[in-house]
């Protein structure tokens, strides 16, 4: 069966990837929705009116990762689309954050994304797509958002390298790099410190970011950058010295 696998499907952008995936990739016959919150996954499944199954998994838990591997082994699906949307961030100074919290960010944003991609790849063939949620925070180191920005630099670097490695196999990888997006992510991120006012000014609509990402994936683009401001930030990151960018970010 041709399927889409969407992590982070219980909330924010993940749930919109679930809702719009089939419009862009009509060959998809079933959608696998992954997240920890079973009730919210069920609500998304009911809302999208598509053939979907819910997989309440904590992707930072070894046993749950094994459960995903076992399910793949049992069902042997043909994964046409993998969306790695599960992720989290915490705003604040690194020294104010607990060690457990900073490790949580790396575990879900980097380790889980890498695990799910590796396991899924064995079930992907020609003309399939991987969409990885990076962030515009990947472009520049961010004082006050250091671990998150570094974790998203990992996602961007990994995705771009993978895009080259898998080109011959015709598996296309797109790293999505939005600025601030209006989702529950912000509330979680404000555990230590509130988001800076200027970031709210650049806030994007979640549906638009997702539609742009699906469109860019369909066009086999390795990067999806939503909005003029984030495109300008990317340009600045390429042209200006890091020292200057850090002064600006601060």
Ligand X SMILES: NC(=O)c1ccc[n+]([C@@H]2O[C@H](COP(=O)([O-])OP(=O)(O)OC[C@H]3O[C@@H](n4cnc5c(N)ncnc54)[C@H](OP(=O)(O)O)[C@@H]3O)[C@@H](O)[C@H]2O)c1
Q: Are the C-beta atoms of residues 173 and 223 closer than 8 Å to each other?
A: no
Cα→Cα distances 191→40, 50, 58, 134, 226, Å: 22, 35, 20, 21, 26
- Of 36-44, 91-99, 116-124, 161-169, which part binds ligand X (CB under 6 A)? 36-44
The only residue of 17, 22, 31, 35 in contact with ligand X, by rule CB under 6 A? 35
> Binding pattern to ligand X, positions 116-135, x when CB under 6 A?
-----------------x-x
Output the CA angle 140-156-174, nearest 5 degrees. 135
Residue 143 binds to ligand X (criterion: CB under 6 A) = no
Give 175's strand partners: 132, 223
Nearest approach, Cβ of 230 to ligand X (angstroms)? 9
The only residue of 25, 145, 185, 226 in contact with ligand X, by rule CB under 6 A? 185
Q: Which is nearer to ligand X, 59 or 81 (CB)?
A: 59
Q: Are the C-beta atoms of residues 6 and 83 closer than 8 Å to each other?
A: yes
> How would you class 247 by CB atoms within 10 Å of its CB: exposed for 0-12, middle for 13-18, buried for 19 or more?
exposed
> Binding pattern to ligand X, positions 47-76, x when CB under 6 A?
-----------xxx----------------
- Of 24-32, 161-169, 183-191, 227-235, which part binds ligand X (CB under 6 A)? 183-191
Q: Which is nearer to ligand X, 128 or 142 (CB)?
A: 142
**What is the pairing mode between strands 171-176 and 30-35?**
unpaired
- Of 33-41, 95-103, 212-220, 232-240, which part binds ligand X (CB under 6 A)? 33-41
Residue 6 binds to ligand X (criterion: CB under 6 A) = no
Strand blocks (E) in the chain: 2-7, 30-35, 52-56, 78-84, 128-133, 171-176, 223-224
Please give the order of strands across the beta sheet that includes 52-56: 52-56, 30-35, 2-7, 78-84, 128-133, 171-176, 223-224
Q: Which is nearer to ligand X, 90 or 124 (CB)?
A: 90
Residue 36 binds to ligand X (criterion: CB under 6 A) = yes
3-class SS at 43? helix
Residue 86 binds to ligand X (criterion: CB under 6 A) = yes
Residue 190 binds to ligand X (criterion: CB under 6 A) = no
The only residue of 4, 14, 110, 172 in contact with ligand X, by rule CB under 6 A? 14
Q: Where on the chain is the footprint of ligand X (CB under 6 A)?
A: 7-8, 10-14, 35-37, 40, 58-60, 85-89, 108, 133, 135, 178, 180-181, 183-185, 188
């Amino acid at each position: 069966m041709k399927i889409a696998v969407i992590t982070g499907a219980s909330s924010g952008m993940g749930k919109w990837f679930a809702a719009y995936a089939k419009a862009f990739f009509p060959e998809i016959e079933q959608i696998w929705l992954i997240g920890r919150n079973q009730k919210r996954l069920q609500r998304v499944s009911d809302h999208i009116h598509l053939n979907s199954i819910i997989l309440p998994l904590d992707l930072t838990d070894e046993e749950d990762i094994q459960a995903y591997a076992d399910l793949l082994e049992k069902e042997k699906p043909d994964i046409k689309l993998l969306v790695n949307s599960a992720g989290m961030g915490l705003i604040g100074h690194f020294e104010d954050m607990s060690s457990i919290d900073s490790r949580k960010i790396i575990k879900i944003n980097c380790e889980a994304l890498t695990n799910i991609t590796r396991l899924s790849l064995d079930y992907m063939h020609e003309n399939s797509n991987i969409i990885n949620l990076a962030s515009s925070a990947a472009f520049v180191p961010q004082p006050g958002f250091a671990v998150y920005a570094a974790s998203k630099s990992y996602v961007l670097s990994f995705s771009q390298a993978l895009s080259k490695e898998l080109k011959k196999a015709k598996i296309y990888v797109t790293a999505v790099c939005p600025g601030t997006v209006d989702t529950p992510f912000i509330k979680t991120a404000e555990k230590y410190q509130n988001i800076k006012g200027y970031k709210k000014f650049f806030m994007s609509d979640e549906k638009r970011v997702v539609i742009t990402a699906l469109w860019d994936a369909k066009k086999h683009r390795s990067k999806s950058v939503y909005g003029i401001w984030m495109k300008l930030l990317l340009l600045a990151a390429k042209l200006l010295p890091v020292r200057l960018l850090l002064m600006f970010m601060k």
